[in-house]
Structure 1
Amino acid sequence: MSCNPSQLTLLLFFFSFLPFPPGPRIVGDGTAGKPSQEPAPRLVCQFCNYSTVYTTTMVRHVRTHTGERPYRCVSCEKGFTTKQQLEKHCSQPSKPCFKPFACSYCPERFPSDALLSRHRCMRNTFSSY
């Protein structure tokens, strides 16, 4: 069977609306439209053979060798190597820094000014009798 050019054009036009059959399709080598990326240079620790591509990870790692603890708790002065460690320390109810509001009349401490005020009010009420 032979098709003339107009029939072939009509046939190609018709088939252009059909979905591709299932199964793998190979179109080029897969690199079209992708920017070429070279691997990031690795950072190597000056104290040991540890390496990483992330600067923040290397800074945190070097602190294990130097003992630097730049994040300090304002209540107990304990130092931490990361901000996350400090936040975890200060969020634990059993820690004294979780209760930064101290009563001036007794050793009690409170996590908020409102609770300290309530304590003072109750203390003054009981001590006036």
Structure 2
Amino acid sequence: VTLNEQHRIQSAACRYCCDVCNKAFTRQNSLTRHQYIHRGERPYSCDVCKKAFSQRSHVIKHERIHSGERPYCCDVCNRAFSIHSDLKRHQRIHSVMSGRIPVMCVIRHLRDRAASQHINEYIV
């Protein structure tokens, strides 16, 4: 099943579907937030620099640049990160170095999202 077919299947079974890309949502407010992207709306802005975002969670992540907050800490080397996905990407270094992840998995699919999920399976 291709990704587009999967979206169509989800759309048929879902009450809240995007009329632009057919992405399905279980809640109306999730669909509304998603549609900001298609309309180019950015209703949330940083209190410090006024940069605008389509989602509140993106503002929260962005504001950590100004505050210096780094709530995600590596349990191996204690390096801290402001974004959880940055910590996960960093942890791959330790997993490769310890041999838990085959080096070829990392080299072959460094930026591929599916590979990132595959590599995350190795991280304990």
Is the TM-score greater than 0.5?
no
- Calculate the TM-score normalised by the size of structure 1: 0.41
Structure whose residues are more often helix by fraction: 2
Larger RCO, structure (CA 8 Å, separation 6 or more): 2
Q: Which has the larger radius of gyration?
A: 1
